[in-house]
Structure 1
Amino acid sequence: MAVYKIVEIGDEILKEKAKAVPKITPNIIKLLDNMAQTLYSAKGVGLAAPQVGVPKRVIVIDAGEGLIELINPEILSSSGKDTDTEACLSIPGLIGDVTRATSIKVRYFDRQGKEQLAKVKGFPARVFQHEIDHLEGILFIDRASNVRKLEQKEK
């Protein structure tokens, strides 16, 4: 496994819409493995493939409940609203307040190509939405209010 370099704001790939994965190949499995390694190395909670320079609809998330791998994720429904502070591995040093749904239903494929449905609430729902935004070329600062520098104590 390898740790990828995380692409930072200013790189055009972060503003592009990622392409669907038509077939799960050994390269996609390797991408998932390396993205997970990169996520943990960076001490993040979510990572989308465009953040490592790969314009594919692939995400890895560990919001405290173990690793979840999502291929071609799609939000089917959402409810509730909450505003909270977000940050991003691709935008070091900045945070902002983002309003997102508090509960979502997501369809995606796992590494075996099996369709999965997940109902996600609270912080994990926020992470899912943040990462799915990356696949659409949307950064949290595009949705945020009160964008500010991260204070040392908040890190």
Structure 2
Amino acid sequence: MIRDIIKYPTPPSVQYATDVRFFNEEIHSLIEDMKDTIKANSLDGLAAFQIGSYYNIVVVKEYDGKYLELINPRIISTNGKVTTTERTAYFPGLSANVTRYESISLVYQDREGDNHSLKADGALSILLQRKIDYTFGSSFLNKLTKDEKKIFQKKLEFGSDVAISESCPTTFKRDYIIKAINISMIVMVILLIGSFFIDNLWSYQLNLSFGVVGLNIVYFFYAQYEGKKFTSCTSCQIGNIIGTAVVSLVKLTLLMSLSYFIM
């Protein structure tokens, strides 16, 4: 039977998993439900904790499609450290960079209560560590560094897996468009001053004004596209973009009005 997986922000129904003492049909049925749930959700593994059971059971899918059943798993030794990008069904659609042990040794029991030992490395080691975390009422959130946790909290807030900066960048590519606009308007001021000494500069002034209008249009649309890349500060950026474009056009209008009467 396919079971519902507990997902954020719903807290797990139990705080710590309880070791299995009686290896009966109830346990066998639970393990089969876990397999069905893994298959239905295309998961790599599942802890009974994740479907609201208080039993200390972990089931993971192996490369050959078979399932490894671990009852009362305990990590007894570890070796090395590795940082990988992890995902978990509890935080659907989100990922985080987590540092874990590169290889582990553990002991566990099967559904008949027989004892076994296992050495795991690579992806299997990471998967087992993540699932065993749940048996202690934990998730990878508790394994994150201080900086990574801040980033992940932002992801939770916005519901997005996009890497979110703690603050908006101070420079953007759109700044080059603003520089081009400012340079063009400086040239227009020079032409205005030059008109006191040289005739027939109005056509140049008019063409430059069209260029400035065009640059403002390019700036307005490109700046919005660039701003959407930074989810944490999109709203304030849109306000700045509109304000910058309006100020630029007001300056151009005043400059062209003055040029019309003088030139």
- TM-score scaled to structure 2, two decimals? 0.54
Higher Rg of the two aligned structures: 2
* Residue 75 (structure 2) pairs with residue 75 (structure 1): yes
Q: How far apart, CA to CA, are the structure 2 residues paired with 1:9 and 1:15?
A: 14
Moved more, 45-54 or 139-148: 139-148
TM-score by length of 1: 0.90
Q: How many residues align?
A: 150
For the residue of structure 2 that corresponds to 1:107, the secondary structure is: strand
- 1:31 to 1:15, Cα distance in 2 relative to 1, 3 A: closer
Instruction: Find the aligned partners of 2:161 and 2:115 in 1 and give their Cα distance.
Output: 38
Q: Letter of the aligned partner of 1:76 in structure 2?
A: I
Answering whether residue 136 of structure 2 is matched by residue 136 of structure 1, we say yes
Who is 1:91 aligned against?
A: 91
- Measured in 2, the distance between the counterparts of 1:50 and 1:109 equals 17
Cα-to-partner distance string for 1:14-57 (whole Å, 9 max, x where unaligned): 67111111111100000001101101111111100111111110
- Deviation sequence 1:115-140 (CA, Å, 0-9, x none): 11000010000000000000001111
One-letter identity of the residue aligned with 2:114? K
Matched residues in 1 for 2:100 and 2:92: separation? 21
1:13 aligns with 2:24: no
- Say which is worse superposed, 61-70 or 122-131, in terms of deviation: 61-70
Greater helix percent: which structure? 2
Cα separation, 2, equivalents of 1:94 and 1:7? 15
| Residue 113 (structure 1) aligns with | 113
- Contact kept, 8 Å, 1:59 with 1:69, in 2: the verdict is yes
Task: Give the structure, 1 or 2, with the largest relative contact order (CA under 8 Å, sep 6 or more).
Answer: 1
SS in 1 for 2:36: helix
Superposition RMSD in Å: 1.5
Q: Please state if 1:45 is matched with 2:44.
A: yes
Tell me the residue number matched to 2:59: 60
Structure 2: 5+ residue stretches without partners: 163-263
Moved runs in structure 1, 4+ residues, more than 6 A?
Answer: none
Q: Determine the C-alpha separation between the residues in 1 that align with 2:45 and 2:140.
A: 13
Hey, what does 2:29 align to over in structure 1?
Answer: 30
**AA aligned opposite 2:5:** I
Q: 2:57 and 2:78 mapped to 1: Cα distance?
A: 21
Structure in which a larger fraction of residues adopt strand: 1
Deviation (angstroms), 1:64: 2.3
* 2-structure distance, mates of 1:22, 1:14: 20
Unaligned runs of at least 5 residues, structure 1: none
Partners in 1 of 2:72 and 2:3 — Cα distance? 21
Distance 2:83 2:14 in 1: 23
